[in-house]
Structure 1
């Protein structure tokens, strides 16, 4: 009978060997990672996810991070005495809300993520409306009843991504960290959905894959039934799930971002639960993974 310590070491070695073909496959490839949800509310969970990103960087992958921060924005608005209002799921963004969103996303969260990566020995740079903006958008309007145009304030739809600067940074072994505040053609600022921004970034840089990290368990056929979890779905199956209402609410922009990336040439996209320890590494470097992968 083997010594338990030796057995544990063998199991760890087996895990590394399982990861080897994936490390070889993704060496030098861009992977866009969207961080959001309650995983960013817990400093320990957030740091563990960034350690996974650091590992990816050290084994030769080229990560790009796009982050959200909705809950921190809502908390900051509460502190300022402002009520958060939503129109068809989008945060109504007036000038005061936009100022708070920029302060939280660019001045607080973006800086925190960059500082953590730097502390892990990874060169990184924050890209936001306060520094080098890479997202450019037009103002978004929604359609309401009787085809009436609904104003959601300073909310944008991404029109263009400065892919060149992102690719240059990746080749220089520097991790770009992107806050979802865009510029319009007049130089004004617009709040954009972080899921949508991640999809557009993945499309623009022709990433190998897009990984959506949140506090969701991937995709289930029946939301409350863990046994209905789907580790892999095709484009046709996703279309059927959306038509049948299986994919709804906050999952819709995540799935739409994945489809946008696939349509632009990304090979695979993933939706994973960042609350699972090392979920990012498990999804990318193991045979089974822990989330739902969406394929073309």
Structure 2
């Protein structure tokens, strides 16, 4: 026998009380734009997919404008494996050659983006998939190692502009925009963009009220082996210290760097949430309890 969900065990009076407690937050955030970086376990597990995307639909239903930047790292890795290709990362960024950019575009634009969009529609929302290269403009990303040596990431882009009008029109008409992390250069080349960085750039250009990263960890941890060592609030200085200690490393580096960049661009709040936690979005937005890590300058 399948047990009842916590919500089903509540009395009608308790359900009404919960909704009333959320009312001040609904009023505060009405008409605001929230950029949500959606990836990791929340996008791989069917149960979490349903819960997360239903939560996104609810956000739109109460007057918030969600804009999703989706990832796809695991799906890309699986597609590469089928072709006998091995993923290569430097500082959490995928090395991308010409063969791989075609594969990435196929996975993101023909599989993941349309899938997320269709699920939102199934759950009662209105959604449109927007291939990233239609709104993100980029140049080839130029990066240096810690030793000052140039790193050639291949077809990886640095976003320099976002075409906002098509997105704002969708949001104004109560559509949830689902955008892939791809960008186009002036010469027509398509670039791969780290989804965390794409979300940060989008949030900065569109002046989002909140930027929310759904990740596979309970925010930023003081000790990655201890899930209870979550840091509730972390600033730029402490992030730098944790990088030097190796606590923040790999794929977490572009996350925290992009979070700080978003704040510097005028985004009001940036949160790292555990996408594996049921209803993490709603708990963070509509309650006083902090369930993830807030990034501040």
User: Within 2, Cα distance between the matches of 1:288 and 1:40?
Assistant: 24
CA separation of 1:225/1:177 partners in 2, compared to 1, >3 Å: closer, same or farther? same
What count of residue pairs does the alignment treat as equivalent? Answer: 290
Query: SS at the partner of 2:266?
Result: coil
The question of whether the paired residues in 1 share the 8 Å contact of 2:130 and 2:179 is answered with yes
Range that drifts further, 284-293 or 22-31: 284-293
Range that drifts further, 58-67 or 148-157: 148-157
Tell me if 1:117 matches 2:114.
no
The question of whether the paired residues in 1 share the 8 Å contact of 2:270 and 2:296 is answered with yes
Picking from 33, 37, 58, the partner of 2:61 is 58
Please give the root-mean-square deviation of Cα atoms over the aligned residues, in Å: 2.0
Aligned-pair distance for 1:146?
Answer: 6.0
CA separation of 1:166/1:141 partners in 2, compared to 1, >3 Å: closer, same or farther? same
Range that drifts further, 132-141 or 223-232: 223-232
Tell me if 1:224 matches 2:263.
no
The aligned counterpart of 2:198 is: 197
- Alignment deviations for residues 205-244 of structure 1 (CA, whole Å, 9 cap, x no partner): 0000000012111012222234432223344544444455
Aligned-pair distance for 1:150?
Answer: 2.7
Query: SS at the partner of 1:136?
Result: strand
CA separation of 1:292/1:96 partners in 2, compared to 1, >3 Å: closer, same or farther? same
Whose strand fraction is larger, Structure 1's or Structure 2's? 1
The aligned counterpart of 1:276 is: 277
- Consecutive unaligned residues of structure 1, counting only runs of 5 or more, are none
The aligned counterpart of 1:177 is: 178
Query: SS at the partner of 2:17?
Result: helix
User: Within 1, Cα distance between the matches of 2:157 and 2:232?
Assistant: 32
Tell me if 1:89 matches 2:92.
yes
The question of whether the paired residues in 1 share the 8 Å contact of 2:93 and 2:251 is answered with no
The aligned counterpart of 1:133 is: 134
The question of whether the paired residues in 2 share the 8 Å contact of 1:18 and 1:287 is answered with no
The aligned counterpart of 1:12 is: 15
- What is the TM-score of this pair, normalised by structure 1? 0.91
Query: SS at the partner of 2:212?
Result: strand
Query: SS at the partner of 2:48?
Result: helix
The question of whether the paired residues in 2 share the 8 Å contact of 1:66 and 1:179 is answered with yes
- Consecutive unaligned residues of structure 2, counting only runs of 5 or more, are 1-7
Aligned-pair distance for 1:284?
Answer: 0.7
Tell me if 1:25 matches 2:28.
yes
Picking from 65, 72, 75, the partner of 1:72 is 75
The question of whether the paired residues in 1 share the 8 Å contact of 2:38 and 2:69 is answered with yes
Query: SS at the partner of 2:152?
Result: strand
- What is the TM-score of this pair, normalised by structure 2? 0.91
Aligned-pair distance for 1:289?
Answer: 3.2
User: Within 2, Cα distance between the matches of 1:238 and 1:210?
Assistant: 18
User: Within 2, Cα distance between the matches of 1:88 and 1:146?
Assistant: 13
Tell me if 1:292 matches 2:293.
yes
Query: SS at the partner of 1:108?
Result: helix
- Alignment deviations for residues 108-159 of structure 1 (CA, whole Å, 9 cap, x no partner): 0000011111112211111115xx7111111123324864433221111111
User: Within 1, Cα distance between the matches of 2:191 and 2:10?
Assistant: 54
The question of whether the paired residues in 2 share the 8 Å contact of 1:141 and 1:151 is answered with yes
Query: SS at the partner of 1:246?
Result: coil
- Alignment deviations for residues 58-93 of structure 1 (CA, whole Å, 9 cap, x no partner): 000000000010110010011122222223432221
